[in-house]
Chain A
Amino acid sequence: MFAYGWCVRVAIAIVVVSMTDAASAQDKSDENPVVRELVQQNAQLREEVDLLKSRVTLLEARDKTGPTQSSQATPSEITPSPSGEPPSSETQTPDTPAVSAQAVAMGGHTMEIPGGPALKIRGFLDFNFGSGTVANPLIYPLYPPTIPPTPVHSTFQLGEFDLFLSSRLSNSLSFLSEVVFGSDATNFWGIDVERAQLSYKPSDYFEISAGRMHTAIGFYNTAFHHGTWFQTATGRPFMYYFEDSGGILPVHEVGVSATGRVPNSGRLNLRWIAEVSNGLASSGAANGAQPVQNFLSDRNHKAFNLAASMKPDWVPGLQVGGNYYHDIREPLGPPHVENTIAGLYVVYITPVWEFLNELQVQRDRAEGSGKTFNTPLGYTQISRKFGKYRPYFRWQEVNVPSGDPLYSAVGRYEGPSAGLRFDFTDFSAFKIQYNRVYTRTSAPQNGVDGQVAFAF
């Protein structure tokens, strides 16, 4: 009897719970006809208001793109809300009517160009606390030709204050720039225009960009830029250190880059990349020189880089690629040096897993000597997401042989890093990372780095 009663109660509860939605919806419609009609009218009016709002937005976008492109206006230009919510009066971008009203209120004293492009700004910042040797944090220069070696230290560090600016000039022409305010071991602030590129993208099969950009060497260098929030770890692998932080690869380039999908590549999803640039300064960062040749090249011939990648459809998340870079440096004194970089990468990235593997071999050959010096650079990194937590591990290596005509002072540094990333909001993360570094000339070094990185 007790079991029967219990079963009936449970069954009735299931019925009640499962019918709650339907019942609540029906309650409204089952009321008297006047209420039902009012509810319907309300829903209809709300629908019409939403529709009118959307139409206004679309028409304004058309207006912004000018009469010649009115039929090509794209709503995607005008409601890039990172929260995924529709635009509200509080979140209007410079494209929206709120700014027009503001312009009127300010007597026209705004930077808005009627019918012209709008500038969008997003920022990234990281704040660190580290303890240990040069192994802390790994974004610190390991090979600073102009900075004395770093002693054991504990310190707070303000990382890169990164302003990302972008503007769409027309349907297929856009501009982006990354301006970074940052400090280093000297504690002075510096401002770097890390990227500034104008891109023309007429189709999926051809895009061309000119300016200063990240060289398409390997995967990490073009997948991640200066905002550390995007990166799982607290910093870049050794091999992709920026040039002014002791990196030996041409991470940045000033020149022209073209890319596109390979037609008819089907499920392989192939892409090609071809780049021509000034290359790095022949003397590198020696004597405090700026390694990236922004304005004047020290030689007339140009560096080139060819790369290809594939993202096969049958393994979502897998990307395989390779590159070949060639340059001839002309340092003062020594003979010219032929500098080539060839590499391969295999990465697998899903929302849960991240498995990155890259290897580059930099080959420096002093012309006339017949001697060639090969520098292997590589890393492997694996991480898995557990909710808001993502533990990770990385092993990395750079090993420049003694006698290399360009980078012999760098020597070898390799070692493991292990850490944990905690995304405490959708756009901010805390990371803690332990690093151990082995070098050719000193005892192993250790460091721990805590970092808060966020987008704003």
Chain B
Amino acid sequence: MRTNRNLHLAAILILAAACCVKTQAQDTQAVAVILRNDNPVNNLSLTELRRVLLGDRKYWSGSQRIILLMPKVGTPQRDAIMRLLHMSESDFQKSWLNKVYAGDADAPPAVVPTSGAAVSLVSDAPGAIALVPPTSVKGGVKIAKIDGLSPADSTYPLR
């Protein structure tokens, strides 16, 4: 009787632990950085990506202006960006406002309502960059590697 109880308890605890692990994994899904197919850039370092997200880098090589498309507030992609920058949403907005005020940027980045719309816009606009779930990537865009890693790699840094 006691053995059965213990087995019963162990099974429930294992199930609970498995569920917790699964939930955590879902919360840290990889975020893909997408560029238009004709963008010569295939790999970005984390530092370069930070510069783009903060408006410190405004052009790709040459005179192709970077068009940053930000995910909507509250999405896992936006949360991943804030984690990467070690910023709160408020800090991020203030940083961009300060950039505009200092004359270093013309406007804060555009916010795109859905990942599908982001993919579509990136495929349309030369120089555009967006962060989306890897599953939403379609034709016309490519996934840029980050520090040489793609979203499928276990050590991919953008989650």
Which A residues lie at the B interface, using CB under 8 A? 4, 7-8, 11-12, 14-15, 18-19, 21, 47, 50-51, 53-55, 58, 71-87, 120, 122, 164, 166, 168, 171-172, 174, 176, 197, 199, 201-204, 209, 213, 222-223, 225, 227, 230, 267, 311, 313, 316, 350-351, 423, 426, 455
Q: How far is the CA of A423 from the CA of B88 in the complex (A)?
A: 13
- Given A79-B111, A83-B93: A166 touches B116 (CB 8 Å cut-off): no
- CB of B79, distance to nearest CB on chain A (Å): 12
Which B residues lie at the A interface, using CB under 8 A? 5, 8-9, 12-13, 15-16, 19-20, 22-23, 26, 47, 50, 56-59, 62-63, 65, 67-70, 72-73, 78, 86-94, 97-98, 100-103, 106-114, 116-117, 120-121, 124-128
11 A-B contacts (beta carbon < 8 Å) = A4-B5, A18-B20, A50-B113, A50-B114, A80-B108, A84-B72, A85-B73, A122-B97, A204-B59, A230-B101, A316-B50
Q: Are A225 and B102 in contact (CB under 8 A)?
A: yes
Q: How far is the CA of A199 from the CA of B12 in the complex (A)?
A: 66
Q: Are B102 and A51 in contact (CB under 8 A)?
A: no
Residues of B within 8 A of A225 (CB): 101-102
Q: Are A18 and B103 in contact (CB under 8 A)?
A: no
Residues of A within 8 A of B93 (CB): 82-84, 426
Q: Are B12 and A58 in contact (CB under 8 A)?
A: no
- Given A47-B114, A75-B69: A11 touches B9 (CB 8 Å cut-off): yes
Closest 10 CB pairs of A and B: A80-B107, A18-B19, A75-B110, A14-B16, A11-B12, A54-B117, A79-B110, A351-B91, A50-B113, A50-B114
- CB of A55, distance to nearest CB on chain B (Å): 7
- CB of A205, distance to nearest CB on chain B (Å): 8
Pick the contact of B109 from A76, A174, A350 — CB < 8 Å?
Answer: A76
Q: How far is the CA of A429 from the CA of B39 in the complex (A)?
A: 42
Residues of B within 8 A of A85 (CB): 72-73, 111
Q: Are B125 and A74 in contact (CB under 8 A)?
A: yes
- Given A54-B117, A58-B125, A199-B103: A204 touches B57 (CB 8 Å cut-off): yes
Residues of B within 8 A of A350 (CB): 86
- Given A58-B125, A83-B93, A84-B111: A76 touches B106 (CB 8 Å cut-off): yes
- Given A4-B5, A19-B19: A58 touches B124 (CB 8 Å cut-off): yes
Residues of B within 8 A of A51 (CB): 114, 116-117, 120
Q: How far is the CA of A50 from the CA of B117 in the complex (A)?
A: 7
Which of B22, B78, B103, B114 has the most chain A CB within a 10 Å cutoff?
B103
Residues of A within 8 A of B5 (CB): 4
Q: Are B87 and A351 in contact (CB under 8 A)?
A: yes
- Given A12-B12, A83-B93: A74 touches B65 (CB 8 Å cut-off): yes
Q: Are B97 and A15 in contact (CB under 8 A)?
A: no
Q: Which residue of A lies closest to B98 (CB)?
A: A230
- Given A85-B73, A225-B101: A54 touches B121 (CB 8 Å cut-off): yes
- Given A7-B9, A14-B20: A203 touches B59 (CB 8 Å cut-off): yes
Residues of A within 8 A of B128 (CB): 75
Please name 10 further chain A to chain B contacts, defined as beta carbons within 8 Å, in addition to the given A19-B19, A203-B59, sorted by A numbering: A18-B22, A54-B120, A74-B110, A74-B127, A76-B110, A80-B100, A86-B72, A120-B107, A164-B101, A351-B86
Q: How far is the CA of A199 from the CA of B90 in the complex (A)?
A: 28
- CB of B120, distance to nearest CB on chain A (Å): 5
- Given A8-B8, A80-B108: A18 touches B125 (CB 8 Å cut-off): no
Q: Which residue of A lies closest to B6 (CB)?
A: A4
Residues of B within 8 A of A19 (CB): 19
Q: How far is the CA of A166 from the CA of B102 in the complex (A)?
A: 11
Q: Are B125 and A176 in contact (CB under 8 A)?
A: no
Q: Which residue of B lies closest to A7 (CB)?
A: B9
Q: Are B19 and A50 in contact (CB under 8 A)?
A: no
Q: How far is the CA of A75 from the CA of B66 in the complex (A)?
A: 11
Q: How far is the CA of A51 from the CA of B33 in the complex (A)?
A: 19
Q: How far is the CA of A205 from the CA of B90 in the complex (A)?
A: 30
Residues of A within 8 A of B9 (CB): 4, 7-8, 11
Q: Are B65 and A72 in contact (CB under 8 A)?
A: yes
Q: How far is the CA of A337 from the CA of B88 in the complex (A)?
A: 50
Q: Are A84 and B73 in contact (CB under 8 A)?
A: yes
Q: Are A227 and B101 in contact (CB under 8 A)?
A: yes
Residues of B within 8 A of A81 (CB): 108, 111
- Given A54-B112, A54-B113, A85-B111: A174 touches B106 (CB 8 Å cut-off): yes
Q: Are A76 and B67 in contact (CB under 8 A)?
A: yes
Residues of B within 8 A of A311 (CB): 56
Q: Are A84 and B16 in contact (CB under 8 A)?
A: no
Q: How far is the CA of A166 from the CA of B62 in the complex (A)?
A: 25
Residues of B within 8 A of A50 (CB): 113-114, 116-117
Q: How far is the CA of A350 from the CA of B87 in the complex (A)?
A: 9
Pick the contact of A197 from B15, B19, B62, B103 — CB < 8 Å?
Answer: B103
Residues of B within 8 A of A75 (CB): 67, 69, 110, 112, 121, 125, 128
- CB of A24, distance to nearest CB on chain B (Å): 13
Residues of A within 8 A of B59 (CB): 203-204
Residues of B within 8 A of A76 (CB): 67-69, 106-110
Pick the contact of B102 from A12, A53, A122, A223 — CB < 8 Å?
Answer: A223
